Structure 1
Amino acid sequence: MRRTDEAPTGTGDDLGLGSAESRSAALPAGLTALVVDDDPDFAGLLRRLLEGQGIEVHVAESVADAEALSAAYIFDIALIDYRLGPADQPARTGLHVATAVRRTSPNALVIVLTGYSDRVVAREAIRVRVDDVISKAGLTVTEFTRTLAESLERKRQRDTQLGPAYLESVVNQSLANVAHELRSPLVSIMRQTEALISGALGSLSGDQHTGAASISDEARRGLNLINAHLDLNRIEHRITRLEPAEHDVAAILADEVESYTARAAAKGVSINRSTPSVPTVARVDLPKLRSALNPIMDNALKYCRERGRIDVAVRVQDEHVVIEVHDDGPGMRADDVDRVLRPDTWGGTAPSPRARGTGLGLTIARRFSELHGGHLEIGSPRDGGTTVRLWLRQYPPTEGTDDVG
């Protein structure tokens, strides 16, 4: 739909009719661009211009379509028409799209194209951190490509001055925003498949039940991955706040072991817990301590031999409360230990597809222990298996105590 309130198309070198391929200036190739305009002719011209420069282009003609694309892709460039949709619906403008792009592609170059007064739109654009506002009136291909190239260069220089730490924070924030967007549909998938499995929506055949269970498991795994990433992102950016209180660590561990009893029994694994003879009180944030214990117990059960054994103990040593979890699995090499304590790395191959983890669990456990003033150790004794020790500061400290539970 071409609107009478926007710039009329011209002739020759005017952006409305000029040849994009023959007139375009040099732009960096290999970028990904979002073009949002409900005029298919104008959007098509921008697509041809950018694709002719080796830029991948995605086109949307509405706010809803643009928001969906912004949630699915990380964009380097966003060219957004200010007025989208019928004139009698002014509330939904290109600035809504700019906000969505900033949420998922915070390092993108965002430019708003308008046929209205630059000053009017610019005042609104400042609020959503739009990089530039370009008037369509009399705009030529040459002027447009030159402006776009200059804007990209300014952005590159700014990013260089800010340094790699800033860029890393931008990428992490972008991933965190995408993760938040994915949580709701995954929760919905889990609820619907659980309703199918329970028979609430009708009976299922054996194969259908197996398929629904597989979908539910994969949705749960995806949600766990997202939650793990968000936890790690909060820790890395120091936005996790501890709310510590005095807790009996031995009692917490007993509850944790109890929650794994059924799963261990299904695998034929016995969990043996030792009870200490001295107080094991520490000042900890209880939810975060449980978040640290979960991946430790998950890994012990995952890698333990069929009909194997897991030994869990608590002791007090060097003014610390030490939680120790040992499994009789295949053990780990020294380089594997270093790998599993870094994000997104594997120490080895999981025993089955159902036992896959997120690759972030032990990293999160280590960071949580460090937030509590402790640390995490992983070792493999010569007789096999793997031992994980989580050290927490004892409260109050007991001098000279070295008691094994």
Structure 2
Amino acid sequence: MRTGLHSVTFWLLLVATVLAFGGYSLLLPIVPLWVTEGGAGPFGAGVTTGVLMAVTVATQFAVPWLLRRIGHRWVLVVGMVLMGAPAPLLALSSELAPVLAVTTVRGVGFGMVTVAGSALVAELLDPAEHSRGASRFGLAVGLPLLLLLPTGVAVVDWVGFTAVFVGGTIPLLGAALMLVLRIDRHGPVVAVDDPDAATAGIVAAGSGTVPEVPGRRRGELGPLLAMLAGATAQGGLITFLPVTGTAAAATLALFATAAGALVGRFLAGELVARRELGGRLLVPGVLIGAVGMAAEVVAALLTAGAAPLLVAGALLVGFGFGMVQNDSLVQLFAFGGPARYGRASALWNAAFDSGFGVGAVGLGAVAGPFGFAAAYGAGTAFLLLVAPFTRRPARA
């Protein structure tokens, strides 16, 4: 029977991930647009994404405990049901309060799915396969974003919001698929976050061996800061692109940022596996994202001809963040070791989703009184401020 990257279990996980993130991607830029139609301003639109991410992050810290109690499969099943089942209820009202109530339930489900999914990738694969496994998992996450982020905006423009909300039930198909999934780990089973196993010594990573306990927290800081800053930039863009430009320009820009992230994650996975560049892609990824956000500042200031720059900036933000996503996840797995894959996944996903929330709420708060150029400028400054702290620390 095939194991590792070629196992049926791993590929079924990827398909279920595509379905789960399909519903997430379809609704992510549409819910802010929906409450805007109901009379909410930029801050209210940002709050919808901010609440989604806040609930997601709060849930994520409980997921390692859930993984120990009920296992990866049932965490994923329940999470996908919570993501998909409430989606059609959004059509009942565009008022902020009921939308936030539905968003809260969906956020709980999303928090469960994100941590359990990426932790299961590490559980199913040997450390030497983590880089390529993370990049393939990134493709499963990125393809729905690539296809459905812009699709949702276009469908709303053609036939209205209700069809998109019904499409948000796609994660239920992923839940059905997970029910038949048999999880046979490729390596020895280690209890998630078992403190006794934390003395395992060193773990292999794409960039070599990394001490697992000494310097672990210092090593985790750079990947987490890079994730937070990159997610802030992309979260702000995804939230506000649909309400700052024409439908055509927003659709192209959303497609571009999703495509950039997809390519960035895949390229990072290959560079780490083939060139042993683990930990060296965080600074370039953050700086590429800063250039992209600077382009968005200029686009927001232009009165005409802004669309090409808007799309190019979104592409660069996505590409830089894609590099950061893959390299940071592999580094966190390496620093934590098999005993702490659940914890590493929770930290990575919390940084990801916290950043999206900060991008939506924080940049929305700036955009309200000062405009979107100032908001995108704040995102640029954050990336530049964080970049020096994302360098890989010298090994002891």
TM-score normalised by the shorter chain: which range applies?
under 0.3
Max radius of gyration: which structure? Answer: 1
Greater RCO structure (CA 8 Å; 6+ sep) = 2
> What's the TM-score, normalizing by structure 2?
0.25
Structure with greater strand share of residues: 1
The structure whose residues are more often helix, as a share, is: 2
TM-score (norm 1): 0.25
